[in-house]
């Protein structure tokens, strides 16, 4: 009786991912949760280290740290989807790239007002992510990953082939504006330290905001979706809207990184949309710990610095990325935060 | 309370549910029994919004709810459990039940911090006590015994304060002692809620059902009070026939 039923129900009740990479990652995140005291402590220590970093870092590494924080936004956005809604996006760079291009084009041709650029980039990403999300979320399992991957690649190819927006060379010579925070208070991006603390502050706010939003009834629906999406409708929730909201929110966070990127490097290029950036963000989340929010930001710092160091010796830093990915999936699927939780969490339990 | 009118569903050439009609009376236990593959679970899938019927209608208190999606039916008061345990295995027992209770909260509280949303926690705690699950509240559902998992299935359905409770073989895989406990539990719920119960085994449902529907090969073979079921030659034929076929 059971066997016949099992066979009958697997067609409409999607079986949980078991042997897949996504399945491994998902199982790893179940124990944690962005709210544990230990994760808060890790976040606080990271912030302190980040705050004093420019005192030792010098201008090259300070700028590299800015880049790490910007790519960290994509990693954070991957984590919202994978760690909370159980959706593996292989195309989060699309929103980074989209925001970067919108910002670059606006600065070059339309306006020097940071706020206007912010609004335009955010609105474009909002509309695009809503539409793509509405399609991609209906696709089950691996097809979500494939659609997000495919669309990001298409965007990359389109920019690559469109002369009007720089083609394969991208756009260069983007002017660096100043931001008017308040009337009479202008902030210059040209100063590395001002730039760094501005980005660090904003990323902190994004992290705290995300943590707050996920620690709500909304967040608990996402966790239930991650655990068993098919059961959720029978409890009166329509998973579609929750996933879509998470998707749009994640896209906005990736977009923030893209919005600032042209101001850091002075150029944008088609590779910003590309598979390499998207997968790097997944590896960053994995290294830090999926489902922890702070882990992916740490992961981004680690990977970005590692790449910069290794990149000065060899062109083949992608191999390194691949090796890191395999090692973490196999031996440390809950990432460095997971390791910390097991080490210190277990240590604490021994004491009465 | 809930009425099914001429419901049909085919999978390819197989007519899994074939012109099925019945009505479940308020606050009664209506049981659907029948041999393997009779179409019982498929009927549930059609009623609870998992599948769309090819033809026919489903009415809830006189309103047509045919083809409504599962999440809307749940909101309307139709709660169902699954034959194969279908829970949030990576979340705690309390969180499973709390999450179900939370769906009764008004939609504009969905950005309220969880620690300020206390009503679902309180209600979930009560339900866990009622179901004898309070001891394991903090355990992951995946670590529970099969019997306790089956209890959680019923508990999260009841957390929705449903009008119609649909249970698909709730005692599946349980020991006779556990089965007896669950039967008592279901009986105690019947005063509050309309129960639609699928059972594989005729004997189990006899003493708790008010009304029994026997399905066979997608069709309704018999309908009536429990004491008449076993007397029916057609029913005996179907059960014996199925066992002969299986042997
Ligand atoms: N999604 C599906 N796709 C194809 N065939 C299906 C599907 N669901 C059920 N069936 C078939 O329809 C028939 C009725 O299945 P159903 O699960 O409703 O039986 P059941 O009465 O619940 O039996 P059991 O006592 O084994 O649970 C079976 O032959 C089954 O194989
Ligand atoms: Mg069945």
Structural domains present in chain B: 2-246 (3.40.50.300)
Given this model, what pLDDT does residue A300 score?
A: 96
Is B16 a pocket residue for ligand 1 (Cβ < 6 Å)? yes
Give the span between the Cα atoms of B238 and A25, in whole angstroms: 48
Given this model, what pLDDT does residue A24 score?
A: 54
Give the span between the Cα atoms of B85 and B97, in whole angstroms: 15
Ligand 1, from B4, B8, B34, B41: best to mutate by most atoms within 8 Å of Cβ?
B41
Q: If you count residue pairs, one on A and one on B, with CB atoms under 8 Å apart, how many are there?
A: 101
CB contact under 8 A, B160 and A235: yes
List alpha helices for chain B, DSSP H. 40-47, 70-76, 93-102, 118-130, 146-158, 176-189, 202-206, 226-229, 233-246
Is B11 a pocket residue for ligand 1 (Cβ < 6 Å)? yes
* CA A34 to mean position of chain CA atoms: 15
What does the buried/exposed string (b/e) look like for A50-74 if buried means 16 or more CB atoms within 10 Å of the residue's CB? beeebeebeeebbbbbbbbbbbbbb
- Backbone angles phi and psi of B171, in degrees to 5: -100, 10
Residue extents of the structural domains in chain A: 40-344
Cβ neighbours, 10 Å, residue B225: 10
- pTM confidence score: 0.89
Given this model, what pLDDT does residue B175 score?
A: 86
The alpha carbon of B173 and the centre of ligand 1 are apart by a number of angstroms equal to 18
Please name the member of B86, B102, B173 whose beta carbon is closest to the beta carbon of A220: B102
Given this model, what pLDDT does residue A16 score?
A: 42
Given this model, what pLDDT does residue A81 score?
A: 96
Q: What is the mean pLDDT of each run of 10 residues along chain A (352 residues)?
A: 40 40 51 66 90 87 94 97 93 95 92 91 97 93 92 92 85 83 78 91 95 93 94 96 96 96 91 91 94 94 91 79 90 89 61 33
- Nearest Cα of chain A lies from the Cα of B91 at a distance, in angstroms, of 8
Given this model, what pLDDT does residue A22 score?
A: 54
Given this model, what pLDDT does residue A5 score?
A: 42
CATH code for the structural domain at A40-344: 1.10.3470
Q: What is the ipTM of this complex?
A: 0.93
Please name the member of B36, B45, B111 whose beta carbon is closest to the beta carbon of A12: B45
Nearest CA in chain B to A2: B84
Do residues A301 and A76 make contact, with C-beta atoms less than 8 angstroms apart? no
Given this model, what pLDDT does residue A11 score?
A: 35
Q: H or E stretch including A169?
A: none
Give the span between the Cα atoms of A213 and A80, in whole angstroms: 11
Given this model, what pLDDT does residue A348 score?
A: 42
Residue numbers of chain B with a pLDDT score lower than 70 = 240-247
Q: Is A138 on the interface with B (CB under 8 A)?
A: no
HSE toward the beta carbon, residue B47, CA cutoff 13 A: 33
Do residues B70 and B156 make contact, with C-beta atoms less than 8 angstroms apart? no
User: Among B74, B78, B95, B140, which would you mutate to test the A interface (most chain A Cβ atoms within 10 Å of its Cβ)?
Assistant: B74
Given this model, what pLDDT does residue A31 score?
A: 42
């Amino acid at each position: 009786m059971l066997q016949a039923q099992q066979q009958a129900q697997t067609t409409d009740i999607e079986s949980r991912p078991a042997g897949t990479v996504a399945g491994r990652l998902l199982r790893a995140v179940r124990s944690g949760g962005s709210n544990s005291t230990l994760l808060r402590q890790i976040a606080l220590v990271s912030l302190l280290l980040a705050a004093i970093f420019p005192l030792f870092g010098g201008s090259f590494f300070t700028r590299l740290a800015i880049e790490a924080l910007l790519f960290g936004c994509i990693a954070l956005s991957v984590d919202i989807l994978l760690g909370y809604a159980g959706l593996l996006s292989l195309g989060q760079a699309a929103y980074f790239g989209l925001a970067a291009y919108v910002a670059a084009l606006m600065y070059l041709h339309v306006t020097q007002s940071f706020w206007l650029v912010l609004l335009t980039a955010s609105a474009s990403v909002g509309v695009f992510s809503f539409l793509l999300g509405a399609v991609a979320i209906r696709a089950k399992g691996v097809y979500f990953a494939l659609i997000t991957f495919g669309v990001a690649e298409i965007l990359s190819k389109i920019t690559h082939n469109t002369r009007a927006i720089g083609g394969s060379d991208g756009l260069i010579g983007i002017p660096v504006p100043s931001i008017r925070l308040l009337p009479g208070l202008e902030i210059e991006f040209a100063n590395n330290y001002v730039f760094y603390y501005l980005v660090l502050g904003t990323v902190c706010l994004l992290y705290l905001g995300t943590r707050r939003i996920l620690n709500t009834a909304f967040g608990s629906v996402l966790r239930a979706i991650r655990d068993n999406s098919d059961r959720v409708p029978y409890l009166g929730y329509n998973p579609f809207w929750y996933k879509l909201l998470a998707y749009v929110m994640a896209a906005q966070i990736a977009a923030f990184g893209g919005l600032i990127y042209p101001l850091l490097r002075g150029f944008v290029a088609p590779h910003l949309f590309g598979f390499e950036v998207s997968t790097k963000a997944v590896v960053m989340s994995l290294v830090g710990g999926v489902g922890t929010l702070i882990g992916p930001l740490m992961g981004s710092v680690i990977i970005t610095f590692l790449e910069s160091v290794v990149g000065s010796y060899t062109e083949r830093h992608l191999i390194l990325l691949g090796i890191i990915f395999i090692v973490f999936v196999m031996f440390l699927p809950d990432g460095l935060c997971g390791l910390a939780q097991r080490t210190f969490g277990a240590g604490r339990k021994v004491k009465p | 309370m809930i009425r099914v009118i001429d419901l049909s569903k085919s999978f390819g050439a197989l007519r899994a549910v074939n012109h099925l009609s019945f009505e479940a009376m308020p606050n009664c236990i209506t049981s659907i029994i029948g041999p393997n593959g009779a179409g019982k679970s498929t009927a549930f899938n059609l009623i609870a919004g998992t599948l769309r019927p090819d033809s026919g209608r489903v009415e809830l208190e006189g309103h047509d709810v045919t083809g409504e999606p599962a999440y809307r039916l749940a909101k309307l008061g139709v709660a169902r459990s699954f034959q194969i345990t279908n829970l949030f295995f990576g979340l705690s027992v309390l969180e499973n039940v709390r999450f179900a209770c939370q769906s009764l909260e008004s939609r504009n509280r969905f950005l309220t911090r969880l620690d300020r949303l206390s009503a679902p926690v309180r209600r979930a705690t009560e339900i866990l006590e009622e179901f004898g699950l309070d001891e394991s509240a903090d355990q992951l559902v995946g670590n529970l015994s099969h019997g306790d998992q089956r209890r959680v299935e019923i508990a999260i359905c009841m957390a929705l304060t449903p009008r119609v409770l649909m249970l698909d073989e709730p005692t599946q895989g349980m020991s006779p002692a556990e089965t007896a406990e669950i039967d008592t539990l279901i009986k105690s719920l019947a005063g509050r809620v309309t129960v639609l119960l699928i059972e594989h085994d005729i004997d189990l449902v006899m003493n708790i059902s008010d009304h029994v529907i026997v399905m066979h090969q997608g069709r309704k073979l018999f309908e009536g009070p429990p004491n008449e079921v076993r007397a029916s030659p057609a029913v005996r034929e179907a059960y014996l026939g199925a066992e002969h076929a299986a042997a």
